[in-house]
Amino acid sequence: MPIPALRQPVTAAGSPATQSPSTEPRPETPRLRLVRPDSAPDSDISSAEIVPLGDRNAIGVRRPWMTWSYLVASLILGITLTTLAGCHWASASQNSQGAAMYNQGQYTGAMEQFQKAIASNPKDPDGYYNLAATTHRLGNQRQDPNLIRQSEALYNQCLDHDPNHVDCHRGLAVLLVDSGRPDRAFTLLKNWAAQNPALAEPRIELARLYEEHGEPQTALKYLEDAVQTDANNPRAWLALARLRENGGDPVQALQNYQRVLALGGGAMGGSSALATERVAALSRQINSANDARLNAGGTQIASPAFGSTRY
């Protein structure tokens, strides 16, 4: 991030170089008085502090604790903010390095980076999620139940810090299904939805789970509920479009994909590209179907009913 530009002092009116000298009389400079320390009334006058007579709020030798308290408080605040910023920066950097190693298949190295990220910022839910997902992946590869149990605990730690962490709910639901506890997975997502009636994400994840368990109509119900809950959620519209396309409803699917593009634009990355491709494909499919119906109807050009004697 670039360093912010220095702020320049703003004059009250005009440029100091161009303002004409004021003709109004200047107020008389207040006289000065000497303030002696109360604890040493007979001290030498050279130890006294000069304070403007009219400045009742000046911090002089009578209130040195105010100056020191302000300085100490400012120092503590500055150290705290600097430490927090450093922790967040370190955690983000370690999470990024771990994600890069995960994508390269270096799961052990990725786990080390995610552990460092948690140590740098123990309150960051993404560190727990990343470590949970990597441990989960490694546990599945090695068929190691101990790693699966560790990943389940880490998913729960992530949700302790962020109860609405979408990826963490999905990962934990997958783990519960894979370990033979689908009922717990449904309960997890239903409880999440019940606790957040204005949030579309739990309903999207429930729809995904129901579709995977062969209940597309129930999934459709949850997705329709999701878009009613949040009509500007592109993930909900994308899931609804895909489900309707798979269910043989290309017209509704096309409208839903178009809604995705209207909401997300280029900000959705791969999902936006998918929606664009499906809009083009479905448009061709619908147009071809319409042409086929017209041809099948046996449409004929009408013969002229007038005689040739007119011209």
* Spatial separation of the C-alpha atoms in residues 275 and 242, rounded to whole Å: 9
pLDDT digits (tens, 9 = 90+) for 2-40: 333 323 333 333 333 333 334 444 444 333 333 333 444
Question: Average pLDDT in the 93-115 region?
Answer: 94
In a domain, 250, yes or no: yes
In a domain, 306, yes or no: no
CB 159 within 8 A of CB 189: no
Band of residue 226 on the pLDDT scale cut at 50, 70, 90: very high
* Spatial separation of the C-alpha atoms in residues 241 and 61, rounded to whole Å: 74
User: Across the chain, what does the average pLDDT equal?
Assistant: 78
Residue 293 has a pLDDT of 84
In a domain, 278, yes or no: yes
Residue 63 has a pLDDT of 44
Query: pTM of this prediction?
Result: 0.67
Q: How far is CA 150 from CA 74, 170, 183, 266, in A?
A: 42, 17, 20, 38
Question: Average pLDDT in the 169-195 region?
Answer: 98
Question: Average pLDDT in the 155-172 region?
Answer: 98
In a domain, 39, yes or no: no
Q: pLDDT higher for 159 or 303?
A: 159
In a domain, 91, yes or no: no
Domain containing residue 248: 232-287
CB 96 within 8 A of CB 126: no
In a domain, 66, yes or no: no
Coil/strand/helix, residue 33: strand
Q: pLDDT higher for 38 or 97?
A: 97
Nearest CA to 28 among 56, 52, 3? 52
Indicate the Cα dihedral angle 75, 81, 87, 90, nearest 10°.
Answer: -100
| Total domains present in the chain | 1
In this predicted structure, the answer to whether residue 105 has a pLDDT above a threshold of 70 is yes
In this predicted structure, the answer to whether residue 249 has a pLDDT above a threshold of 80 is yes
Residue 250 has a pLDDT of 96
- In DSSP terms, 35 is beta-bridged to 49
In a domain, 256, yes or no: yes
In a domain, 259, yes or no: yes
Q: pLDDT higher for 298 or 248?
A: 248
Band of residue 265 on the pLDDT scale cut at 50, 70, 90: low
